[in-house]
Amino acid sequence: MESVCEDFGATLSEFNGEADHVHLLVQYPPAVRLSDLVNSLKGVSSRIIRRDHPNQLADLLWGKNLWSPSYFAASAGGAPLDIVKQYISNQQRPS
């Protein structure tokens, strides 16, 4: 994820995941189209995960896809980044 962000001139500030989704805090330049960045993150990570874990994905796929075609993005322009990073790092499903 970090190298993909760097390719776009973006910075991956925080990353965390759960069994069925991930949370990323990315700072990216205004000239970058968010949809292009997200599609690249999904495509590259899918290829790497499929290469490294080919026998462990059958129950995790969306049809034939690793990632859902959708994504959620929100702006955190006014929030202190430390608070957003803390939120992302603490994402866990309740027991």
Per residue in 23-71, pLDDT (tens digit) is: 899 999 999 999 999 999 999 998 998 888 877 777 777 778 888 888 9
Q: Which of these, 43, 93, 92, lies nearest to 66 by C-alpha position? A: 43
Instruction: For residue 39, give the amino acid letter.
Output: N
With a threshold of 0.85, does the pTM exceed it? Answer: no
Q: State yes or no: pLDDT of 95 exceeds 60.
A: no
**Ordered structural domains, the chain, with CATH:** 2-89 (3.30.70.1290)
23: enclosing H helix or E strand: strand 22-27
d(CA 91, CA 5): 21
Instruction: For residue 40, give the amino acid letter.
Output: S
d(CA 10, CA 12): 7
